[in-house]
Structure 1
Amino acid sequence: MSGPSTNFLSIVIGLFLIVLLKKILNTWNARKGPYPPGPKPKFLIGNALDFPMSGIGQHFMEVGAQLQSGLVHLNIFGNHILFINKKNIADDLLEKRSKIYSGRPQLPAIKAIGWDTSNIALIDYGDEWRKHRKIAQQHLNKQQTRAYEPVQLRHLRKMLYRLIRSPEDFMQHSEVFSTAVMMDIMYGYQIDRHDDPANAAAEKMLSLTIPLLLPGGALMNVLPFLRYLPAWIPGNIAGKRVKESIFWMHEMRGIPMADLRKRMDQGTATYSVVSDCLEKNAASAVDTDPDAERVVCNIAWASYAGKF
Structure 2
Amino acid sequence: MYKIPGHHHISMITKNASQNNHFYKNILGLRRVKITVNQDDPSMYHLFYGDKTGSPGTELTFFEIPMVGKTHRGTNAITRIGLLVPSEESLHYWKKRFEEHGVYHGEISTYANRPALKFEDPEGLRLVLIVSNGEKVEHWETWEKSSVPVDHQIQGMGTIEITVKRLEKLARTLTEMFGYTEVSRTEDEAIFQSIEGEVFGEILVKQLDGPSERPGRGSIHHLAIRVKNKLELTYWEAKVKERGFSSSGIVDRHFFKSLYFRESNGILFEIATDGPGFLVDSDVEHLGEKLELPPFLEPRRAEIEAQLSPIEEKE
Higher alpha-carbon Rg: 1
Provide TM-score, normalisation by structure 1. Answer: 0.21
Where relative contact order (Cα < 8 A, 6+ residues apart) is larger, the structure is: 2
Provide TM-score, normalisation by structure 2. Answer: 0.21
The answer to which structure has the higher helix fraction is: 1
